[in-house]
Amino acid sequence: MGNLEELYSAVPPTKMRDREEKFWSAETTPFWLWVADRYFYGMLEKRFHGFYYKGAEKFYLQKAPETPVILYAPHHNWWDGMVGYNICNRIFKKEIRLMIEELNRFPLIRRGGAFSVNKKSPQASMPALKYAVDSMGDTNNILYIFPEGIIKPPNHRPLELQTGMTYIAEKAAKKYGKVAIMPVAVNYCFLRDNRPEVLVEFGDIIELNDDKPNRKEYTNYLGKILENLCDKQLDDIHNGRFKGYEMLFESKLRWYRRIEQWLKRNGFRGI
């Protein structure tokens, strides 16, 4: 793992590298989406016991079908992008548009809907911000954003969002009339199995119309909404409240757990 003190850096990787990097747009095709769907879903199935979510109905009930959508979530670990992909692809049946800073190292994932961003400077990031706005014109896409800008430790508080998401939302609302912004709380935890579970909770949609909010104030407002949702989910987990969760997948018990359950059902002593 290396030095624990060096796991989290406040400097984005592209700024640390301090060099010009090519902008890569998402380039999806039916074949590559088929590959990505099975690969990203299969990796979650292999590593996690189950994937559960709640609040997905808000996506359909709280906005018009033609309204562009931004989903925004905290960014705490390597799995977040795969979770976002399955949220968009498996739960909402849409294509993800995911801004990734390290895409120049892994350009193939643009075939699944990723596009690159260079945070070396505000000017260097503009192609990604413009592309994000343009991609929202196709309502078959969902823009999925980690607005903290860098990976933070699990359950880090306070959530401090960068203003880039507000910039995108403001420009998209101006271009398309309005935009729906939906917070997403994601937690990875061990419950009663030897592998962790993915728990996802969707918050209420915030609709931004064709106006111009104070960018810093609106960013803080969106950050507080996300933080409150994450805190609520964490409190529910701590207190064992899981009512309302739907299942995306749940793995079968391993053979030794099945034996354990059989022994318990048949009243064997010491089990």
DSSP-derived pairing of the beta strands 178-189 and 69-72:
parallel
How far, in Å, CA of 26 to CA of 47, rounded? 27
In sequence order, the β-bridge partners of residue 141 are 95
Q: Write down all domains in the chain, each with its CATH number in brackets.
A: 10-265 (3.40.1130)
What pLDDT shows up at residue 270? Answer: 57
Rg of the chain on CA atoms, in Å: 20
Per-10-residue mean pLDDT, the chain, length 271 = 75 85 93 94 94 98 95 96 97 97 87 94 93 97 96 94 96 96 97 92 96 93 98 97 96 66 69 49
What pLDDT shows up at residue 4? Answer: 74
How far, in Å, CA of 268 to CA of 270, rounded? 7
DSSP designation for 109: G
DSSP-derived pairing of the beta strands 114-116 and 178-189:
unpaired
How far, in Å, CA of 173 to CA of 32, rounded? 30
How far, in Å, CA of 270 to CA of 156, rounded? 41
